[in-house]
Structure 1
Amino acid sequence: MSEPIPARKILVLGASGLIGRFVTDDLRARGFHAVGIARQFSPAQKATAFDLEWPVMSMDAPALACLLRDHEIDVVVNCLGVLQDGPGSDTRAVHRDFVARLLDAIRGSGRAIRLIHISIPGAAGEDRTTFSVTKREAERLIAASGIAFAILRPGFVIAPSAYGGSALLRALAALPFELPKRESATSFQPVAIEDIAATIAWLAGRDVADAVASAVTWDLMQPQPVTLGRVIGQFRASFGTSEMPRVTLPGLLLDLGAKLGDLVSRLGWMPPIRTTAIAELRRGVSGDPSSWMAVSGIVPKTLTEAVGQRPATIQDKWFARLYLAKALMIASLALFWTVSGFIALFVSYSAATYILSAHSFPPDLVAPVTVITSLMDMSIGVLIAFRRTSAFALIAGIVASLGYMAGAAILTPDLWIEPLGALVKTGPAIVLMLVALLTLDNR
């Protein structure tokens, strides 16, 4: 007969993320009362009334303490984190400053609360990025706080869903590309997300005064050392692409991709390849899970068990193949609309107006229509490039393209049979915009 679950309430911060979402659902499945909080949930993520959209990053310590008291929280699981500074993302604010306020809130709540904090593996002396430095600063704040805490340092997380780096590795496994030898040989000890969730559930079930589960820092990962190349190879075995011929990517291409990723992140996108991601990838993922295993009794899944427990579905394969193609679609469509409008207005304005005039377009409308449509095209291209407005711009592009086709059919039907087939080619462009729109979601 299994032991009853203690009637404890658990607050999961960052409940929309890869780890946070899985942990929230897992705790509920185990019988815990879990309150999930995130800045924003996708419509598919909001499972219950206890998934709350709250701007916790803007809350001060008294407001956070009130939140803990009002919901009678016994355990806080902090899954909040950002990879790199950018629009709406500040690593110091999320990793260090927020944790400081959260600690003050826990002390000021009047409740006996355990904090379970998700951090990163590795020694402090190896920290080279703002991401890792601020993560380590948060650990030191927690260790000196005097509250009951558990700092968990997961290895490379393998989960049913994929986001960021985990999605990138799946894409590399599905496509004919190989990482450079230096990166492939990097230590990369993985952990199944089920083992992270089991650890949090184990900690949540212990009394806050239990010394065994208080003031602990654990590396969560399989004990057997493996490499990044081996991790990708296991995904290839799952996808059935192990025998696919491959081209080895030069290291300079990764560095260039990271710089481009930094640039794109300023437009609101979250590309998996950025300078911080490449730096952390080259640093590797390694640690010693022996104390975690000894105290919790959890035997972590191996890489083969975590990835190979089920063959990849067609959904997995489509996602992996389309993941990098999505970036190409967005980039090509943004350039297509912007450049075509720019050329018509500034480079070949006379030729553009001549095409309309030569096809019996009303003379008084030639110049205004050329200017207005060119400006509209450039606006659509610029809006596609920004993450926040991309969906709107793609819909606008589809509508504009259909309008061009319908307008030409009414006013200048002979454009449909001109030798270069400009209007005929608009059809595939509409399909590409539709595909980009359908793949726009990140979670």
Structure 2
Amino acid sequence: MTQRTILVLGASGLIGRFVTDDLRARGLRVVGLARSLSPAQQLSALDLELPILSLDTTALTRLLSEHAVDVVVNCLGVLQDGPGSDTNAVHRDFVMRLLQAIATSSRAIRLVHISIPGAAEADRTAFAMTKRQAEHLIAESGVPHAILRPGFVVAPSAYGGSAMLRALAAFPLDLPGKEMATPFQPVAVEDISATIAWLAAREIGDASVKAVSWDLMQSEPITMAGVIKQFRFAFGTAGWPCVTMPSFMLDLGAKVGDLANYLGWMPPMRSTAIAELRRGVQGDPSAWVAATGIVPKTLTETVGRHPATIQDKWFARLFLIKALIVASLVTFWLISGLIALVVSYRAAAGILTAHNFPPALVDPVTIGTSLMDMSIGVLIAFRRTAAIGLVAGIVASLGYMFGAAILTPDLWIEPLGALVKTGPAIVLMLVALLILDNR
């Protein structure tokens, strides 16, 4: 049998990246495609960066032909609408064009589509409803396909909800009791990749897998509390007494997360994430197991094989603190600039006057530095410009320190130590800059 080519769409994501690398390790020819790949993710000449969602049917057909694709694995997905994220465009409209491209291709191609588990009547969010619409489009297309509905995905890396659960496991903090009791059946990402490899080995004309929909997850029932407990065993925090988060804090966190979403950030705690969390993750993997012979790994086998490394612990501890760091820096720069410009303008200008600063420059410098501080806060607030804002904040802080050393050296020994405290602020901005990446 000639070697088949697999095209993985969304090769930078949690599932897509692992599947791309794992299938290559199995000896398969895999083309990984993503809108954006980090330098570390560009592991092969077959890792491609393209504006996937902008590709029309003709461009998709040409892509399939140029790479002689036999299997398309669609791992694309977004949790919630926001700047640069459109659930309709990703889950429904793109799938429609992809199906048209496969149908009109001169090659026989199988589509493997990553969806979500659960009953359609329980769909309440735009995320779930558009995912289900894509399933209907695929089922009605006549294209050979396999719809895979993985449970809570456990992978070596962490992103979004999987990262949040690791963070909860690293701290003595529990979600409200109702949420902790929701069904939460996990699946090892290795089992997803093994299923795709199994499908890729099947002949396109094999009637038994021409149109299948499988739930991929461990058979044994488990709740979210059980999932977090298993992670706590790995992190060494299982014996810690825990504080239960009040429900209103979870809802408040979702609203704050929605605001951050509009600023371009993708926090795991958003209204859609909480709604899907409360819905739970459950399904029936029996059809998948019977067809493929794959025995799904249990959570104990997946997480319990190795204790958490120091890298795992640092990431989990910093994950929730990252939002606090960014929010505190935004608040610091905005408020410090606003206070100097409005509340304590005369006092701020008086510092320059008292140190024989040229009178003609006192007001412009006071106003200019205040606006600069506020601008830095705004830059940090938006994800797209956060790195620029943090670098600007570090440069501005160093400028204040050196400028004061030359023009007003006595400020270094004033009782409250305002300039001395600038040093730790610079370090905090450096930390924020170093942990800015999401994946």
Which TM-score applies when normalising by structure 1?
Answer: 0.98
Q: Which residue among 101, 107, 114 is the counterpart of 1:111? A: 107
Which residue does 1:38 correspond to in 2? 34
SS of 1:69's partner is: helix
Percent of residue pairs bearing the same amino acid type: 73
Deviates more, 1:207-216 or 1:417-426: 207-216
Which residue does 1:412 correspond to in 2? 408
* Cα distance in 2, alignment partners of residues 177 and 314 from structure 1: 20
* Cα distance in 2, alignment partners of residues 302 and 17 from structure 1: 23
Which residue does 2:225 correspond to in 1? 229
Q: Which residue among 146, 149, 154 is the counterpart of 2:145? A: 149
Matches within 5 A, 1:204-353: 204-353=200-349
Which residue does 2:7 correspond to in 1? 11
Kept in 2, the 8 Å contact 1:191–1:302? The answer is yes
SS of 1:144's partner is: helix
**Aligned Cα root-mean-square deviation (Å):** 0.9
* Cα distance in 2, alignment partners of residues 205 and 309 from structure 1: 29
Task: Please tell me whether residue 68 in structure 1 is matched to residue 64 in structure 2.
Answer: yes
Task: Please tell me whether residue 21 in structure 1 is matched to residue 17 in structure 2.
Answer: yes
Cα offset, 1:119, TM superposition: 0.2
Deviations 1:9-56 (A, max 9, x none): 111000000000000001111111100000000111111111110112
Name the amino acid aligned to 2:143.
Answer: I
* Cα distance in 2, alignment partners of residues 430 and 323 from structure 1: 20
Kept in 2, the 8 Å contact 1:87–1:266? The answer is yes
* Cα distance in 2, alignment partners of residues 184 and 442 from structure 1: 26
* Cα distance in 2, alignment partners of residues 311 and 122 from structure 1: 31
* Cα distance in 2, alignment partners of residues 365 and 418 from structure 1: 24
Which residue does 1:169 correspond to in 2? 165
Which residue does 2:423 correspond to in 1? 427
SS of 2:141's partner is: coil
Name the amino acid aligned to 1:395.
Answer: V
* Cα distance in 2, alignment partners of residues 14 and 324 from structure 1: 25
Cα offset, 1:60, TM superposition: 1.0
Kept in 2, the 8 Å contact 1:380–1:396? The answer is yes
Note the residue ranges of structure 2 that are not aligned, 5 or more in a row.
none
Task: Please tell me whether residue 391 in structure 1 is matched to residue 387 in structure 2.
Answer: yes
SS of 1:351's partner is: helix
* Cα distance in 1, alignment partners of residues 275 and 189 from structure 2: 23
* Cα distance in 1, alignment partners of residues 250 and 424 from structure 2: 31
Which residue does 2:369 correspond to in 1? 373
Cα offset, 1:213, TM superposition: 2.1
* Cα distance in 2, alignment partners of residues 156 and 433 from structure 1: 34
* Cα distance in 2, alignment partners of residues 59 and 436 from structure 1: 35
Deviates more, 1:331-340 or 1:210-219: 210-219
* Cα distance in 2, alignment partners of residues 419 and 16 from structure 1: 51
Deviations 1:345-378 (A, max 9, x none): 1111001111222233333322121111111100
* Cα distance in 2, alignment partners of residues 96 and 406 from structure 1: 55
Deviations 1:147-183 (A, max 9, x none): 1100000000000000000000000000121111100
* Cα distance in 1, alignment partners of residues 124 and 215 from structure 2: 19
| Equivalent residue pairs, number | 439
SS of 2:40's partner is: coil
SS of 1:151's partner is: strand
SS of 1:73's partner is: coil
Which residue does 1:203 correspond to in 2? 199
Which residue does 2:174 correspond to in 1? 178
* Cα distance in 1, alignment partners of residues 398 and 241 from structure 2: 41
* Cα distance in 2, alignment partners of residues 159 and 362 from structure 1: 61
Q: Which residue among 339, 348, 357 is the counterpart of 1:361? A: 357
* Cα distance in 2, alignment partners of residues 6 and 163 from structure 1: 36
Task: Please tell me whether residue 83 in structure 1 is matched to residue 65 in structure 2.
Answer: no
Note the residue ranges of structure 1 that are not aligned, 5 or more in a row.
none
SS of 1:150's partner is: strand
Q: Which residue among 169, 186, 191 is the counterpart of 2:187? A: 191
* Cα distance in 2, alignment partners of residues 29 and 72 from structure 1: 20
Cα offset, 1:243, TM superposition: 1.4
Cα offset, 1:198, TM superposition: 0.4
Kept in 2, the 8 Å contact 1:359–1:415? The answer is no
Which residue does 1:400 correspond to in 2? 396
Matches within 5 A, 1:47-66: 47-66=43-62
Kept in 2, the 8 Å contact 1:62–1:108? The answer is no
* Cα distance in 1, alignment partners of residues 209 and 119 from structure 2: 22
SS of 1:139's partner is: helix
Which TM-score applies when normalising by structure 2?
Answer: 0.99
Kept in 2, the 8 Å contact 1:8–1:33? The answer is yes
Name the amino acid aligned to 2:335.
Answer: V
Cα offset, 1:6, TM superposition: 4.7
